[in-house]
Amino acid sequence: MSDALLFFRTFLANPFAIGSVIPSSKHLVADLLDGIDFTTARTVVEYGPGTGVFTDEILRRLAPDAKLLCIEIMDDFYNTLSARYDDPRLVLVHGSAADVERLLAEHGLGQADAVVSGLPFTSLPEEVRHAILGGTARALKPEGRFVMYQYSQFVMGHIKKYFAAIQTRFTMLNVPPAFSFYCDAPIVSAPTPEASPSRS
Ligand SMILES: C[S@@+](CC[C@H](N)C(=O)[O-])C[C@H]1O[C@@H](n2cnc3c(N)ncnc32)[C@H](O)[C@@H]1O
């Protein structure tokens, strides 16, 4: 089965967890990853690799002595990626991004230099979004960077609670066009879920 068909079938079965009908474009991949300094990054995390469009490019840019922890929740995506990659720098985990701190520790990795997210935050339940953003802020080094894309700026109100400095960029050449968010200065004293804005 092609990656495009696998992606579409998985979307039909799990629309809120996938959030898109096709994988991201190479333009969006480049725009988002250009926000990471791969010359210094030694521990990189990717959430929601799907069919691996970001994973391919992260591995292409990643230093030989660096590690990439990829966390994918869907069985079919995990199984496809697991069969595809044979790279000693890649640690592929079948699980949830909400467990990033535990997964980094279990694999002997310290705090991350960068986290790359393909998660559809807008359609995730509030408590999952809170757990992932809070866990990400704590999982990053103080100078670490979180990069993510979304199809709207809705998520800005949420990520501002976890990152003190955020820049955005718009990529037209993606279906649909997307915003990239480059988030610095993680705030580790995370708010309670009740204090977070509700979904709308
Ligand atoms: C919009 S797709 C992005 C796929 C790929 N990164 C891309 O850009 O083409 C969202 C991905 O997040 C995964 N996902 C959703 N919730 C997740 C979670 N809690 N933990 C890890 N992966 C999750 C989905 O299975 C899917 O692979």
Range of the domain at 36: 3-195
For residue range 131-168, list pLDDT tens digits in order: 999 999 999 999 999 999 999 999 999 999 999 999 99
| pLDDT value, residue 193 | 52
User: Structurally, how many domains does the chain consist of?
Assistant: 1
| pLDDT value, residue 18 | 78
Distance CA 160, CA 199 (A): 15
Q: Is residue 200 part of a domain?
A: no
pLDDT at 172 over 70: yes
The CATH number covering residue 56 comes to: 3.40.50.150
Q: What is the pTM of this model?
A: 0.94
Q: Is residue 133 part of a domain?
A: yes
- Local structure of 142: helix, strand or coil: strand
- Going by CA atoms, what residue is nearest to atom 25 of ligand 1? 74
Distance CA 17, CA 70 (A): 16
- Local structure of 135: helix, strand or coil: helix
> How far away, in angstroms, is 16 Cα from ligand 1 center?
10
Alpha helices (H) along 62-97 = 75-84
> How far away, in angstroms, is 147 Cα from ligand 1 center?
14
In terms of DSSP bridges, do strands 90-94 and 112-117 run parallel, antiparallel, or are they unpaired?
Answer: unpaired
Is 193:158 a contact under the CB 8 Å cutoff? no
19 lines ligand 1 (CB under 6 A): yes
Q: Which tokens in the block code for residue 198?
A: 């509700």
Mutate to test the pocket of ligand 1, among 9, 74, 133 (most ligand atoms within 8 A of CB): 74
Q: Which whole-number Å values give the CA distances from 89 to 55, 73, 175, in the listed order? A: 11, 20, 30
For residue range 68-105, list pLDDT tens digits in order: 999 999 999 999 999 999 999 999 999 999 999 999 99
Q: In this prediction, what percent of the chain has a pLDDT beyond 70?
A: 94
- Going by CA atoms, what residue is nearest to atom 17 of ligand 1? 73
- Going by CA atoms, what residue is nearest to atom 20 of ligand 1? 96
pLDDT band at 200 (very low <50, low <70, confident <90, very high): very low
Nearest-atom number in ligand 1 for the CA of 28 is 8
Closest among 90, 1, 10 to 50, alpha carbons compared: 10
Q: Which whole-number Å values give the CA distances from 71 to 44, 127, 138, in the listed order? A: 11, 18, 17
- Going by CA atoms, what residue is nearest to atom 11 of ligand 1? 48
> How far away, in angstroms, is 121 Cα from ligand 1 center?
10
17 lines ligand 1 (CB under 6 A): yes
Mean pLDDT of the chain: 92
Q: Is residue 58 part of a domain?
A: yes
